Amino acid sequence: MKPASNMIPVLEYPALPRKAAISQPPRRLLLVAYNFPPVGGAGVQRPVKWVKNLRRFGWDVTVLTTANPSVPARDESLLADIPDDVLVIRAKTWEPDYRTKQGLVDRSNAGPTSFVARAKSAVKGLVKQAVKLVLQPDPQVLWVPNAIKAGQRVLSEMSHDAILVTAPAYSSFFIGTKLKRQFGLPLVLDFRDEWDLSGRYLENAQRDGISQVIQGWMQRNVLRQADAVVATTIGSAANLAGKLTAVNKASTRSVTVYNGFDVEDFPTQSTEPVGVPGSTFRLLYTGTLWNLTTIEPLVTAIQHLNATTPELLNRLELVCVGRKTPEQVAILDRLKSTSCQLELIDYCEHKKVLEWLQSTDAMCLLLSDVPGAERVVPAKLFEYLANRKDMLAIVPRGETADIARRFFPAGQFEPKDIDGIARWLTNRLTSVDERRDFGTPAADINEYSRTTQTRHLVELLDEVVQDRKVKR
Q: Is the pLDDT of residue 131 over 80?
A: no
C-alpha triplet 137, 138, 144: angle, nearest 5°: 90
pLDDT > 70 in the chain, percent: 81
- Of the pLDDT bands very low, low, confident and very high (cuts 50, 70, 90), residue 175 is very high
pLDDT > 90 in the chain, percent: 71
Q: Do 10-17+24-101+136-260+450-471 and 264-446 fold alike per CATH?
A: yes
Domain at 264-446, CATH class: alpha beta
List the single range of 32-36, 264-268, 299-303 with lowest mean pLDDT: 264-268
Q: How far is CA 135 from the centre of its chain?
A: 22
Q: Is the pLDDT of residue 155 over 90?
A: yes
Which of 16-20, 121-125, 434-438, 468-472 has the highest mean predicted lDDT (pLDDT)?
Answer: 468-472
Q: How far is CA 269 from the centre of its chain?
A: 26
Q: Is the pLDDT of residue 451 over 90?
A: yes
Q: What's the confidence (pLDDT) of residue 468?
A: 83
Q: What is the CATH number of domain 10-17+24-101+136-260+450-471?
A: 3.40.50.2000
pLDDT tens across 436-449, in order? Answer: 555 566 668 999 99
Q: Is the pLDDT of residue 14 over 70?
A: no
- Of the pLDDT bands very low, low, confident and very high (cuts 50, 70, 90), residue 198 is confident
pLDDT tens across 207-222, in order? Answer: 678 888 999 999 999 9
Q: Where are the domains of the chain?
A: 10-17+24-101+136-260+450-471, 264-446
Q: What's the confidence (pLDDT) of residue 435?
A: 54
- Of the pLDDT bands very low, low, confident and very high (cuts 50, 70, 90), residue 10 is very low
C-alpha triplet 194, 101, 353: angle, nearest 5°: 60
Q: Is the pLDDT of residue 360 over 80?
A: yes
pLDDT tens across 313-356, in order? Answer: 999 999 999 999 999 999 999 999 999 999 999 989 999 999 99
- Of the pLDDT bands very low, low, confident and very high (cuts 50, 70, 90), residue 279 is confident
- Of the pLDDT bands very low, low, confident and very high (cuts 50, 70, 90), residue 177 is very high
Q: Amino acid identity of 298?
A: L
433 or 150, greater pLDDT: 150
269 or 384, greater pLDDT: 384
Q: What's the confidence (pLDDT) of residue 20?
A: 36
pLDDT tens across 25-65, in order? Answer: 899 999 999 999 999 988 899 999 999 999 999 999 999 99
121 or 364, greater pLDDT: 364
C-beta contacts of 218-222 below 8 A and 24+ residues apart: 218/136, 218/137, 218/170, 219/170, 219/195, 219/243, 220/246, 220/247, 221/177, 222/173, 222/174, 222/176, 222/177, 222/189
List the single range of 23-32, 61-70, 273-282, 427-436 with lowest mean pLDDT: 273-282
Q: What's the confidence (pLDDT) of residue 194?
A: 95
Q: Is 257 left (phi over 0), alpha (psi -120 to 50) or beta?
A: beta
Residues 6 or more apart from 255 whose CB is under 8 A from it? 228, 229, 230, 231, 237, 456, 460
Q: What's the confidence (pLDDT) of residue 107?
A: 47
Q: Work out the mean pLDDT of the chain and round it to a whole number.
A: 86
